[in-house]
Amino acid sequence: MIPDHASAFSLHDCSVSPDILAHKATQLRIHSIQATTEAGSGHPTSCCSAADIVAVLFFGVMRYNPKHPKQPGSDRFVLSKGHAAPLLYAAWAEAGLFPTSDLQQLRRLSSDLEGHPTPRLEFVDVATGSLGQGLSAGVGIALNAKRLEKNPYRTYVLLGDGESVEGSVWEAAELGRYYQLDNLCAIVDVNRFGQSDPTLLAHDLEAYRARWEGFGWHALVVDGHDHDALLHAFQEAAAHRGVPTVLLAKTLKGKGIPHAEDQANWHGKPIPAEQAQQVVDMLEKTLPIPTPVISISQPQIVMEATPSVRPCSAPTYTMGESVATREAFGVALAELGAANPFVMGLDADVKNSTFTEKFAKQFPDRFVQNFIAEQNMVGVASGLAACGKIPFAATFACFLTRAYDFIRMAAISQSNVKLMGSHAGVSIGEDGPSQMGLEDIAMMSAFPGVTVLYPSDAVSAYRLVEAAANQPGLVYIRTSRPKTPVLYGNEESFPLGGSKVLRQSPHDRLTIVAAGVTLIEALNAYEQLQTLGIAVRVIDLYSIVPIDQQTLVDAAQATDHRFLTVEDHYAHGGLGDAVLNALSDEPVRLQKLAVREIPHSGKSAELLDRYGINARAIVEAVKHMIR
């Protein structure tokens, strides 16, 4: 009989029969072959190499409720090699979560059994398929159990050997060792084949062992098709203390498919129908008759309520004082953390610049220092979000480009992750173009469902941190390095999808739309234009996505459809393009002031002038547009 997965929270004694596990592994192979053949696409050989590993995990090791995958206390499983999705689906179907007949809907538009897993499925924590990301999420999930919830559940991450070349895997491995995540177990399916060639190390298991041990992990080499050996290896992993464990499982790609087993050029190819039936017939002959009865006991269901975000205390800034929005972010994050114990702070070795150090000092157990590993930081944040936390991950805006694929997968996962990018634009000054985030708005705005915010003063920054926590899904907050004057009173509200009309009159001839440091320049330009007798409207577009379309349309109709957008960002994909898109049904004349070349080092004021986004440039552009 299978151990009581759902209610037993002590180590397994490996008493489960390897014959039972062999039966389940064969069933998983059959399901994977049949589903991919029916779909006409997929990765059956990648599924078959790992079928024994997954069978042992799901039916001999892991503790979970097969009807409620995310019940508190259940072990967690992340399929980093996401192309083996049919194997994952087959395991949950065999566990009883849904009928095995549903597996034949693989990759259909009408089914959530997609080609690679996404959290549309209740048993999937994070989307995978872009390789090298699963272990980072696993680190976040394991951190949640060990440091926050003090919960004994274990986290298992199945990786492919090909993805082990990705640097992000080793970023995650380093962090797992640093935080002593002995509740984390990685399994590498070493089947020696990638997509187009043999993998870098093929079946050199000792080389794999040396690498993982070099990163401080407890490394076990095991036959990935030996169920008894796998059971005992998982038992040793659970008993080992102080560091995470990795099982280096030697397998054969396409195991159980005679013509494809350990053969090249079968990656991502379904088995033709006639051959598939022959293979299934052969595998079915190995199944015992009658089929063994598998019993998984059902514990009492205790589901956690989703916590609501409690408001922060009001900010305490003085109108006109100079405060950097990045500093206001840090203050707000600490206040948010004080009111909400599920809020997390993450940084990548720049906490004294992003001001997450304020949160770290107050809540060290809820702060995750990721060191200089931005992509892993986003992956860890996704893992924490999958556990019901609200993680705020911060670094320089330019360094988030390194994490772009992780951000992309977080967006696909619809992860409740909040990102803050500081030091945006040429206004950072002397550090030069490598440190200037000038593409971040375009980058973040490209994803459907992602909220993009750009506060211009301390009060709006403070309030938008709280708004971000209340907004489901991925949110990006762009902050600036220079100190800027406080424009708003402490009681001002900043609803998402809103904007602020800061200057207006019945005689306005043009609308200036800006945010961040360029809003301050726009307000200075407004004063100069007033002396020239030129009336203009000034809008603070603090919410870029979603955008306040109605206010922009109203401004268009009130100012002869003339717009000037000003942004400390490259011209493509930024604030100006967002405004253009919102006004696509209006006959507007719009000019964009933006950075149009790779910038140079210099003082902030010099750079704003050189690249034509300061008050002087705004005045000249307005005069040109209305003449």
Examine residue 546 and say whether the peptide bond preceding it is cis (omega within 30 degrees of 0). Answer: yes
Phi, psi (5° rounding) for residue 253? -65, 135
As a whole number of angstroms, the distance between CA 617 and CA 627 comes to: 16
Residue 424's DSSP bridge partners are: 437
With CA atoms as reference, report the closest residue to 566 among 623, 519, 616, 606: 519
Within 108-157, residue ranges assigned H as helices are 134-143
C-alpha separations of 42 from 34, 116, 134, 270 in Å: 11, 9, 20, 6
- Of the listed 114, 374, 439, 466, which one is catalytic? 374
Q: Give residue 17's Cα distance to chain centre.
A: 39
Within 124-258, residue ranges assigned H as helices are 134-143, 167-178, 205-214, 227-239
As a whole number of angstroms, the distance between CA 552 and CA 501 comes to: 10
Phi, psi (5° rounding) for residue 478? -100, 125
As a whole number of angstroms, the distance between CA 125 and CA 351 comes to: 28
Long-range contacts of 177-181 (CB under 8 A, 24+ apart): 177/215, 177/216, 177/217, 177/243, 177/244, 179/139, 179/143, 179/146, 179/147, 180/242, 180/243, 181/139, 181/142, 181/143, 181/146, 181/243, 181/244
Whether 374 is catalytic is yes
With CA atoms as reference, report the closest residue to 346 among 437, 415, 422, 419: 419
Give the DSSP H or E segment for 619. helix 615-626
Active site residues: 374
